[in-house]
């Protein structure tokens, strides 16, 4: 450990508090890929688009094997920035042309080679495909955290890759010992 600055949240989940009303982040769980003095970059992991991996293949003119097990996997809305941009969050990190971030074995890759591999049934063990990402300017995430807009804690691979999308928000908070239903803003309002 040693010199790590614990105020930076790379490799953490950012979990929206129930009172966070920004429609981009309402009840969201974001995997923070990178966070430093310049700002933060993350991928929302619990919002599905009405699009499947097969549609990404079509868009990129990639052929896929008929028995491809991934074609029906839903694509995630990774955040409000650069929504045309495809990003793959995956383990193991592997060796791809354009891996933007590696946090241990978890990596974020934006190059076509990983999508081609997925189309050819040579996918990483676990992956999510997202369009767009979430971004914060210098100091912005820190001030939102100070305003109690978010919970945060170390990311959990089981939630990213194995938990049904609809349950990721509750489960991520429960890992931190927080029951979001008890924090609901409706308490006391008849």
- CA torsion 20-24-29-30 (nearest 10°) is -120
Based on the structure, what is the number of domains in the chain? 1
Residue 4 lies in a domain: no
Residue 89 lies in a domain: yes
Written as one string, the DSSP assignment of 83-124 is EEEEEEEEES----TTEEEEETTEEEE-SHHHHHHHHTT---
Question: What's the confidence (pLDDT) of residue 156?
Answer: 96
Average pLDDT, the chain: 91
Range of the domain at 76: 12-183
Residue 73 lies in a domain: yes
Question: What's the confidence (pLDDT) of residue 50?
Answer: 95
Residues 40, 32: contact at Cβ < 8 Å? yes
Residue 137 lies in a domain: yes
Residue 190 lies in a domain: no
Residue with tokens 């074995």: 105
CATH number of the domain bearing residue 169:
3.40.1740.10
Residue whose C-alpha is closest to residue 53's, from 75, 69, 68: 75
Residue 7 lies in a domain: no
Name the percent of the chain lying above pLDDT 70.
93
Residue-wise pLDDT tens digits, 100-117: 989 889 999 999 999 999
Residue-wise pLDDT tens digits, 32-82: 999 999 999 999 999 999 999 999 999 999 999 889 999 999 999 999 999
Residue 97 lies in a domain: yes
Residue 188 lies in a domain: no
């Amino acid at each position: 450990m040693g010199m790590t600055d614990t105020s930076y949240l790379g490799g953490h989940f950012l979990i929206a508090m129930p009172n966070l009303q920004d429609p981009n982040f309402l009840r969201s769980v974001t995997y923070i890929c990178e966070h430093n003095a310049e700002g933060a970059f993350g991928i929302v992991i619990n919002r599905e688009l009405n699009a499947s991996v097969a549609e990404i293949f079509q868009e990129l003119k990639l052929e896929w094997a008929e028995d491809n097990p991934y074609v029906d996997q839903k694509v995630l809305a990774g955040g409000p920035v650069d929504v045309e941009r495809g990003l793959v969050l995956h383990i193991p990190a592997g060796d791809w042309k354009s891996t933007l971030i590696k946090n241990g074995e978890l990596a974020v890759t934006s190059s076509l080679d990983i999508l081609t591999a997925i189309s050819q049934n040579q996918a990483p063990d676990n992956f999510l495909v997202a369009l767009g990402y979430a971004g914060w300017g210098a100091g912005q995430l820190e001030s939102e955290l100070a305003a109690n807009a978010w919970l945060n804690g170390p990311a959990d691979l089981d939630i990213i890759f194995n938990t049904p999308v609809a349950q990721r928000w509750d489960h991520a908070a429960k890992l931190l010992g927080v029951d979001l239903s008890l924090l609901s803003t409706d308490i006391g309002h008849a």
